[in-house]
Amino acid sequence: MNAFRELLSAGRVTHVPGVHDPLSATLAVHAGHRAVYLSRAGLAAVMMGRPDVDYVPATQIADRAATLTPVIPGVPVLADAGAGFDTPRDSVWSALAYQRAGISALVLADQGGDHVEALVAQAPEIAVIARTTAYATEGLDAAIEQCRAYARAGADAVLPAGIRTAEALARLRDALPGVPLVVSRSEAGGAAPALSDAELAGLGVRLVLHPLAALLAAVRAASQAYRAIAEEGTAESVDRMPWAAFTALAETEDGRPTGAQPGNGARPAIRVVDLGS
């Protein structure tokens, strides 16, 4: 079974952090995460220095995924559907490119049910999370109807962007029995409901996405280091990962670099280290 479909079928919440390169993906896995998320906004930020760039080609997302999947073997990758999902036929072509890059699931935003149907029929190895922004412009009833249409088309889960309350999630759950819900705790779009994992699970939520949290933390830390160097001539006042812990990230249990293949062709296990020491 597709790894993301396994997470969606579980009766618990899985938190999926945003990553943007092999190093951030490695850090996420070392922290214990069972899945990672390659978001369009995060990729725009690191590739173009502009997080608000809307046009990020699907080919760029697939190319970036291909660089990070080898260092986190066995950990499923979720990715946004970038530019290149404009028609059902385009969606299938782009989804197959995602699959070749090692992506297990994609977030398809504000597309019709025909896109979902095409993906289900012609790219069945990719799990589809269908996102709608109807709640912000048309209200909860419209969001429910859009999510219902996605579910009928075969989407594996729905992401109703903008929903903030347990009451709204409960209405959505009751209207779509058995359909897994996904929420996003993106700093770019306002916080998801401040509920415990147990409460979210009871409301039908299976994934909570954190697309930008780690990136914003990294940018803040880098900004502080650059400022310290400019003003003090050293970054000694800034909290940093020790060099030994940083170099240990690239090692596996058998001492080979992460992603290297042992003699029998099996994937190496990543060795967990204490990154704060």
* Beta-carbon contacts of residue 244 (< 8 Å; ≥ 6 apart): none
pTM above 0.85, yes or no: yes
Which tokens hold the place of 215?
A: 């990136």
pLDDT in the model for residue 274: 47
> Looking at the 3D structure of the chain, how many domains does it have?
2
Q: Which residue has the tokens 């990553």?
A: 19
Domain limits for position 251: 241-277
Is there a single domain that holds both residue 42 and residue 147? yes
Which residue's entry shows tokens 């409301």? 203
Q: What pLDDT, on a 0 to 100 scale, did the predictor assign at position 270?
A: 42
* Beta carbons of 221 and 236 less than 8 angstroms apart: no
Q: Which residue has the tokens 């930020």?
A: 45
Closest CA to 154 of 113, 200, 98, 209: 113
Closest residue by Cα to residue 185 from 176, 177, 195, 170: 195
Domain boundary among the residues 216, 232, 252 is at: 216
Distance of CA 161 to the CA centre of its chain: 15
Residues 48 and 171 in one domain: yes
- Residue 234, in any domain of the structure: no
H or E stretch at 182: strand 181-184
**170 and 55 in a common domain:** yes
- Structure token pair of residue 98: 């995602």
| Predicted local confidence at residue 260, as pLDDT | 39
Binned average pLDDT, 10 residues per bin, the chain of 277 residues: 92 96 94 95 89 83 95 95 90 96 95 94 97 93 96 97 91 96 84 82 96 94 96 94 86 46 37 45
State the pLDDT at residue 55: 81
Same-domain check for residues 245 and 196 = no
Same domain, yes or no, for 33 and 169?
A: yes
- The CA distance from 29 to 49, in Å, is 25
Identify whether residues 257 and 165 lie together within a single domain.
Answer: no
Q: What is the CATH number of the domain that holds 114?
A: 3.20.20.60
